[in-house]
Amino acid sequence: MIGKVPLAPLTALLLLLASCGGSSGGGAGAPAPSGPSFAPESTLAARCATPRTGVDPITSMPYPDRQGTLLDEQNWLASWTNDLYLWYSEVSYGIPASYPTAIDYFNILKTNATTASGKPKDRFHFTYPTATWEALAQSGVQAGFGASWDVVSATPPREVIVAYTEPGSPATNLSPPLLRGALVLGVDGVDINDTTQAGINTINAGLYPASSGESHTFTIQDPGGATRTVAMQSTNVVTTPVQDVGTVGTTTVGYMLFNDHLATAEPALINAITTLKAANITDLVVDIRYNGGGYLAIASELAYMIAGPSATGSQTFDLTQFNGKHPTTDPVTGQPIVPTPFLSTSQGFTTSPPAGTALPYLGLPRVFVLTGPDTCSASEAVINGLRGINVQVIQIGSTTCGKPYGFYPQDNCGTTYFSIQFQGVNAVGFGNYPDGFTPANALSLAGGSTPATLPGCSVLDDFTHALGDPAEARLSAALSYIGGSACPAPSGLAPPGTVRRLSAVDGHVFKPPLLTNRIVRR
């Protein structure tokens, strides 16, 4: 498993951590609780109700903790937020001592504003125990079966579908192998629509094993309609971040499925672009419908390899902007804020090729991206970065997640806090896509064009065809667009779960370990 703490115990650990601080506010004869002190953050950091001792095993540095109080931790959160939170002026800081734990107090230290579509502006505010956050794993290794489940509907009638599989995994070693579009009808003898808590726990535990070596059975309806029960044992599956690279049929259209901005994606993308360049492609379709992001530098490398040196030159790929208190200096690193360029050489995520190796490039004036609600963060940065230098990005699929933001996760007293600190903008200063990027022909459903509207077609996910199959609805629409045909009728804004055809659905691909274990629920 990736995290060091299984999910259910993680909840317990959070509760334990949350209960360690005791109460430092109020009490008989104590002064009335007041707002935060807003003392300098550095004077409050690492003053802990329960200090850690010894050496951090990951950083090899002694823990900085010293004896403090719960109120110290809460006051640090207020000062830290007031200094670094992107929307610090929209926060109601309240009375720290009125919250029983530091995490409870942290949870209110965010904006309550909403986006134009009505979504909370800040959907990215959370914590992890520091030991869990710092834990390392081999790149792309997760305990599982090698099947990524798309949860179209988490509540009855539930729909859990195989979105894609990893080569050489238990899922693909079955005979016949588990294919995209296979429906999960039951787990370990529990019907997928079971409403008891015990049943739900069984389903979640089976879909997302905590470690390698777990045996589970699945009742599956294969894409052809046949039903079977299969047994699989979880292993530490290695994710292949780039798959299905090649030209589509006999065309000069290149295709690649890019699922994760992992470290191992750097050589994989280089190999993919080298292959496609050798094939003399004239258009490229990058399938990032399930790519939630990762290393920003890898996003920059991919954008460079698509656009080439003439278009990218010395242009900005992404510029980090903090709140107005920090216009020129990165307040976390102390370094001047400088743009991330379009990186034209490998950055050493692996040593083959070595850092500094010139990247191959296609030099295309336009690129097609296949998107969905799981297209997020660094994946959206590829879209935004290319748009900033006038490379046309044509979007086929559904609206992306809308996360132009980032943070430096910060430990204090054993909890790592995730609080949005910066926004990324492209070469023309645009980064305002909190509701995601949306294809232009979805306008009849969405009600108007926005700066985050892209040319393209609104198309729901199609589980009746393999990814990379020219007949798959999104790729098919891209090929039609390239051929000069009109988009199919827009479908990509339909609320998840309202469509019951596997050729047109949208859900979320959940890749454990999650912050919450409530993947399917009542």
Q: Which residues would be at the binding site for other proteins (CB under 8 A)?
A: 1-4, 55-58, 60, 123-124, 126, 128, 132-139, 141-143, 212, 235-238, 261-264, 292-297, 347-352, 374, 376-379, 381, 401, 403, 405-409, 418, 424, 508-516, 519
Cβ proximity to other proteins, 255 vs 510, nearer residue = 510
**What whole-number distance in Å separates Cα of residue 337 and Cα of residue 322?**
9
Give the contacts of 445 (CB within 8 A, at least 6 positions apart).
458, 490, 493, 494
CB of 33 to other proteins, least distance (A): 29
Cβ proximity to other proteins, 296 vs 459, nearer residue = 296
Cβ proximity to other proteins, 263 vs 269, nearer residue = 263
CB of 134 to other proteins, least distance (A): 7
CB neighbours (10 Å) of residue 286? 25
Cβ proximity to other proteins, 55 vs 113, nearer residue = 55
Q: How far is CA 265 from CA 165, 249, 487, in A?
A: 17, 25, 31
Longest CA pairwise span in the chain (Å):
82
CB of 295 to other proteins, least distance (A): 5
CB of 54 to other proteins, least distance (A): 9
Are the C-beta atoms of 171 and 232 separated by less than 8 Å?
yes
Looking at residue 23, the DSSP 8-state letter turns out to be -
CB of 433 to other proteins, least distance (A): 13
Q: Which of 124, 70, 133 is nearest to 96 (CA)?
A: 70
CB of 234 to other proteins, least distance (A): 12
**What whole-number distance in Å separates Cα of residue 307 and Cα of residue 364?**
5
DSSP string, 440-494: GGGHHHH-S--TTEESEEE--B-TTS-TT-TTSHHHHHHHHHHTTPPPPSP-TTS
CB of 162 to other proteins, least distance (A): 17
Looking at residue 120, the DSSP 8-state letter turns out to be B
Residue found by looking up tokens 């008891």 in the block: 196
Cβ proximity to other proteins, 2 vs 160, nearer residue = 2
CB neighbours (10 Å) of residue 336? 8
Cβ proximity to other proteins, 24 vs 375, nearer residue = 375
Cβ proximity to other proteins, 353 vs 455, nearer residue = 353
Cβ proximity to other proteins, 54 vs 224, nearer residue = 54
Q: How far is CA 488 from CA 369, 438, 491, in A?
A: 16, 15, 8
Give the contacts of 271 (CB within 8 A, at least 6 positions apart).
242, 245
CB of 517 to other proteins, least distance (A): 11
